[in-house]
Amino acid sequence: MTTISQSLEGKHALVCGASAGIGQAAAYALAAKGADLTLLARREERLKPLAGELASAGAGSVRYLVADLDQRDELEERLKKLLFDHGPVHIWINNTGGPPAGPLLQATESALESALGRHLFAAQRILQLLLPGMTEAGYGRIISVLSTSVREPIPNLGVSNLTRASMASWSKTLSRELPSGVTINCILPGFTDTERLTSLAEGIATRRGVEVTDVQDTWRGDIPEGRIGRPEELGEVIAFLASPAASYVRGVCLPVDGGRLRSI
């Protein structure tokens, strides 16, 4: 019996939200497998030094694209130029920050439109740009970074819960429509040590009149592994799903949460 390579040499990966957190960790994990990288985020001051670091970490080549998923016409034009200049994208890490916290009952229509625009509408447009190249190459990996709220809604993250669930349904529907060789999957991060999680902890601490460490201790107490996850752990799972070794994994939402979810 032969083993299946996890090398990504010769594969071009577009990593959205690459400037920090799970997106950045995914970029490092893909670089270690030899992928060519295009990093997409809004903050050039973070992307520029990161590109140099990733080149040293093993990436075949690295470039960055400054773009905002809220500005979809501009995003489309920049991605078209990327494809023209550098050829098809084989791996797309679909990752962007969640909307502000708050109960769904208080969410405005504009808040819903903004969240769905940044996630669902942007994803649909990117998909339609990248899919022809993936199909022609016979290799495509689409990996969306969502949340465990897809399975169990998280209190006070109403708009985020709704948006992540819509993305999971989008992915599952596409898993039945995409051609052979082009897979789509989601990962569902649990509590992971990112800027976003720190911000959420600070907001909860302020509302409750407690210390941030108290909030974090409560979270840890609900995780069988007894700790907050590291972005690198998510990055490694993403890199596996992007590899040839995951060619028969399709249409799944994979929790990476230290066992916190109570549902199957």
The answer to whether the beta carbons of residues 216 and 178 sit under 8 Å apart is: no
Assign 3 a pLDDT band (cuts: 50, 70, 90). Answer: confident
> What 3-state class would DSSP assign to 93?
strand
250 phi-psi bin (left φ>0, alpha ψ -120 to 50, beta other):
beta
The per-residue pLDDT for range 72-94, each reduced to its tens digit, is 999 999 999 999 999 999 999 99
Give the pLDDT of residue 207: 87
Assign 200 a pLDDT band (cuts: 50, 70, 90). Answer: confident
What gap in Å lies between CA 228 and CA 135, rounded to an integer? Answer: 38
> What 3-state class would DSSP assign to 115?
helix
Q: Which two tokens stand for residue 122?
A: 């942007």
- Asked if pLDDT for residue 210 goes beyond 90, the answer is yes
Instruction: Tell me which DSSP letter residue 117 carries.
Output: I
* Strand extents, DSSP E, 106-260: 140-145, 182-189, 253-256
Parallel, antiparallel, or unpaired for β 91-94 and 62-66? unpaired
- Asked if pLDDT for residue 30 goes beyond 90, the answer is yes
- Asked if pLDDT for residue 171 goes beyond 90, the answer is yes
Give the pLDDT of residue 264: 83
Measured between alpha carbons, how far is residue 10 from residues 31, 89, 257 in Å? Answer: 11, 11, 31
Name the amino acid, one letter, at 16. Answer: C
- Beta bridge partners of residue 16, listed in sequence order: 40
CA atoms within 13 A on the CB side of 113: 3
Give the pLDDT of residue 5: 86
- Asked if pLDDT for residue 26 goes beyond 90, the answer is yes
The per-residue pLDDT for range 139-166, each reduced to its tens digit, is 999 999 999 999 999 999 999 999 999 9
pTM of the model: 0.95
What gap in Å lies between CA 39 and CA 52, rounded to an integer? Answer: 11
Give the pLDDT of residue 218: 92
Give the pLDDT of residue 226: 96
Instruction: Tell me which DSSP letter residue 106 carries.
Output: G
